[in-house]
C-alpha cells in the first residue's frame, strides 16, 4: 500500500512505496570479502549486478566505534549514536557508578525507522542472527497490530506472536535453530528474509548477520568464500522477488596479530596504572559482551575515565606519543567528531591503528578461546564498508558523505 505520504524518523523523511525495500547488514564485511569472492567466481549474482553498469556500487562509512550494536542501531535509526544512545555493548554508567551491558531497549533513546513506518500503517520485518540485537532493533514495535515481525535466528524456536509477531519460525523457514557460532546462523536470516518477502511482503525489511566467519577467516580463505557464495544465492532470490535490495555492513575487519599469530594488543589499563597508580583510571572497552569467543573482547576502540583532577590535555599528549595509537581525543571533542553520546563516553577516547587492538589489563583478557589469529575491528581503519544496491541511485547528491546508516534513507528516497 503506497500512500504517497512521508514517514518521519529522527529528523529525516522517508518515502513510501509499493516496492519492498530490503537492507542487508553483513556483519564485519570488510569490502575485500565481496571483491575476493567475486573474483573467485563465488558470487555470480553480485558480479553480474556490478558488471551490468546499472547498479550502484559505493563505499560508505560506518559509525566509529566500528562495532556491531552502534552500527546496527544507527542503520535502523538513520542517525548516529549521539541521537539514539547505543555507542557500544558496554559502558560505564556515571550516574550509578556501575559498568553495564547496554543491551536492553531502555538504553535506546530514539525511534526506529521501523517503528515510524509501523505507525504509518506499513508492514515491517527485522531478522537478526544473534538474539542480543533483537530487543534493541525491535524497540517500539507493537506486535499486537499484526504488521510487525522481529526475531533472531539464535532464538527462532522461541519466537511467538506476543514478543515477535510470528510463531513456528523453524517450520516457516524450513531450518532448525542454528548454533550461535556458525555460518548457519546467518544463512537462517536470509532464508527467513526470502520466505517473508514471498508471504508477508513487508514494505521495509532488515536482515542482519553475525561476523563469526569474518572474525575467523580472511577473504581468500574457503570459510569466507563459502559464506559469501551462500549469501549471493539468497540475494539473487530477494532481487528476483522485486525488492529494492541494499547491501551494507556494520563495520570492516582487520587482522590484529603479529607474524606468529599472537594478538597485537596495547593494554591501556596497564598503561594508565603505570601513569596514575593501580586502578586510578578506568578503561572501558565498548566491544565487551558475553560473546567473546571470536575476539577476546579486543577491538580498536577504548574510552577512559581519568582520576579526578588529572589533566585531559596531558593524558592526550602522553597517549598520542604511544606507538600504535591512531587517535587520542577528549570525550567532548571525540563525541562531536564521531557523533557519540557524551554521557556514555569517558574523558578520553582512544583509537588504535589498523593492526593493533586495545585491551584493558593483560590479565583480564582470556585469549585461550581464540582458535585463529586475531581479526577484529572498532577503529577508523574498519570504517569503510560496502554500500551496494540493485537499483541505481543517481539522485544522491555528490557532496553527501555516505554512511551505512543512510541505507534505508537512500533506498526509499533515491532508488530508481
Reference 30, options 221, 181, 187; nearest CA is: 221
β-pair partners for 93? 98
DSSP track, 169-206? HHHHHT-PPPPSSSSHHHHHHHHHHHHHHHTT--SEEE
Choice between 112 and 376, CB closer to its own copies: 112
Choice between 4 and 290, CB closer to its own copies: 4
- What is the H or E stretch that residue 214 is in? helix 212-216
- What is the H or E stretch that residue 14 is in? strand 12-15
Tally of helices (H runs) and strands (E runs) in the chain = 15, 19
Segments of 105-263 assigned E as strands:
124-128, 148-152, 204-208, 244-248, 254-255
59 binds its own copies (CB under 8 A): no
The interface with its own copies within residues 100-119 (CB under 8 A) comprises 109
Q: Quick one: which segment of 45-53, 68-76, 364-372, 394-402 binds its own copies (CB under 8 A)?
A: 394-402
The interface with its own copies within residues 84-103 (CB under 8 A) comprises 85, 94-95
Q: Quick one: which segment of 4-12, 27-35, 211-219, 253-261 binds its own copies (CB under 8 A)?
A: 4-12
Q: Quick one: which segment of 49-57, 98-106, 157-165, 341-349 binds its own copies (CB under 8 A)?
A: 341-349
Name the minimum Å distance from CB 336 to its own copies.
Answer: 6
β-strands 325-330, 348-352 pairing: antiparallel
330 binds its own copies (CB under 8 A): yes
| Cβ atoms of residues 131 and 169 within 8 Å | no
Q: Quick one: which segment of 69-77, 140-148, 268-276, 332-340 binds its own copies (CB under 8 A)?
A: 332-340
Candidates 343, 361, 372, 373: give the one binding its own copies (CB under 8 A).
343
Name the minimum Å distance from CB 314 to its own copies.
Answer: 10
Cα 44 vs. chain centroid, distance in angstroms?
A: 25
Choice between 235 and 405, CB closer to its own copies: 405
Name the minimum Å distance from CB 396 to its own copies.
Answer: 8
Candidates 119, 229, 270, 342: give the one binding its own copies (CB under 8 A).
342
Q: Residue 347 and residue 332: Cα distance in Å, rounded?
A: 8
Candidates 44, 174, 176, 395: give the one binding its own copies (CB under 8 A).
395
313 binds its own copies (CB under 8 A): yes
**Buried-exposed string 237-271: b where 16+ CB fall within 10 A, e elsewhere:** bbbebebbbbbbbbbbbbbbbeeeeebbbbbbbbb
Cell of 101: 551491558
User: Which residues sit at the interface with its own copies, rule CB under 8 A?
Assistant: 5-6, 8, 11-13, 82-83, 85, 94-95, 109, 311-313, 316, 329-333, 336, 341-344, 395, 397-401, 406
Amino acid at each position: 500500500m503506497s500512500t504517497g505520504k512521508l514517514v518521519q524518523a529522527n529528523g529525516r523523511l522517508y518515502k513510501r512505496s509499493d516496492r519492498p525495500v530490503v537492507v542487508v547488514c553483513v556483519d564485519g564485511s570488510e569490502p575485500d570479502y565481496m571483491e575476493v569472492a567475486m573474483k573467485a567466481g563465488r558470487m555470480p549474482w553480485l558480479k553480474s549486478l556490478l558488471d551490468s553498469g546499472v547498479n550502484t556500487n559505493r563505499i560508505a562509512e560506518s559509525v566509529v566505534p566500528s562495532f556491531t550494536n552502534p552500527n546496527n542501531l544507527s542503520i535502523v535509526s538513520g542517525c548516529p549514536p549521539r541521537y539514539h544512545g547505543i555507542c557500544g555493548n558496554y559502558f560505564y554508567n556515571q550516574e550509578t557508578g556501575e559498568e553495564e551491558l547496554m543491551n536492553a531497549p531502555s538504553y535506546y533513546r530514539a525511534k526506529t525507522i521501523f517503528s515510524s513506518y509501523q505507525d504509518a500503517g506499513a508492514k515491517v520485518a527485522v531478522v537478526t542472527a544473534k538474539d542480543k540485537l533483537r530487543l534493541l532493533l525491535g524497540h517500539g514495535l507493537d506486535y499486537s497490530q499484526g504488521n510487525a515481525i522481529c526475531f533472531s535466528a539464535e532464538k527462532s524456536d522461541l519466537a511467538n506472536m506476543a514478543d515477535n509477531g510470528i510463531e513456528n519460525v523453524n517450520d516457516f523457514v524450513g531450518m532448525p535453530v542454528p548454533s550461535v557460532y556458525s555460518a548457519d546462523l546467518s544463512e537462517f536470516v536470509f532464508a527467513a528474509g526470502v520466505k517473508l518477502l514471498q508471504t508477508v511482503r513487508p514494505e521495509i525489511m532488515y536482515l542482519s548477520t553475525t561476523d563469526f566467519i569474518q572474525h575467523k577467516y580472511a577473504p581468500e580463505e574457503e570459510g569466507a568464500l563459502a559464506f559469501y557464495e551462500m549469501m549471493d544465492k539468497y540475494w539473487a532470490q530477494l532481487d528476483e522477488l522485486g525488492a529494492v535490495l541494499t547491501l551494507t555492513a556494520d563495520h570492516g575487519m582487520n587482522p590484529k596479530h603479529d607474524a606468529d599469530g599472537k594478538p597485537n594488543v596495547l593494554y591501556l589499563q596497564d598503561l594508565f596504572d603505570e601513569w596514575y597508580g593501580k586502578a586510578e583510571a578506568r578503561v572501558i572497552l565498548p566491544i565487551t559482551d558475553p560473546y567473546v569467543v571470536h575476539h577476546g573482547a579486543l577491538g580498536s576502540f577504548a574510552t577512559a575515565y581519568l582520576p579526578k583532577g588529572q589533566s585531559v590535555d596531558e593524558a592526550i599528549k602522553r597517549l598520542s606519543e604511544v606507538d600504535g595509537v591512531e587517535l587520542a581525543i577528549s570525550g567532548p571533542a571525540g563525541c562531536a567528531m564521531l557523533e557519540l553520546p557524551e554521557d556514555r563516553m569517558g574523558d578520553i577516547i582512544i583509537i588504535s591503528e589498523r593492526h593493533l587492538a586495545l585491551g584493558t589489563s593483560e590479565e583480564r583478557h582470556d585469549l585461550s578461546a581464540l582458535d585463529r589469529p586475531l581479526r577484529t575491528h572498532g577503529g577508523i581503519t574498519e570504517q569503510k564498508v560496502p554500500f551496494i544496491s540493485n537499483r541505481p541511485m543517481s539522485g544522491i547528491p555528490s557532496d553527501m558523505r555516505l554512511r551505512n546508516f543512510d541505507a534505508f534513507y537512500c533506498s526509499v528516497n533515491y532508488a530508481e
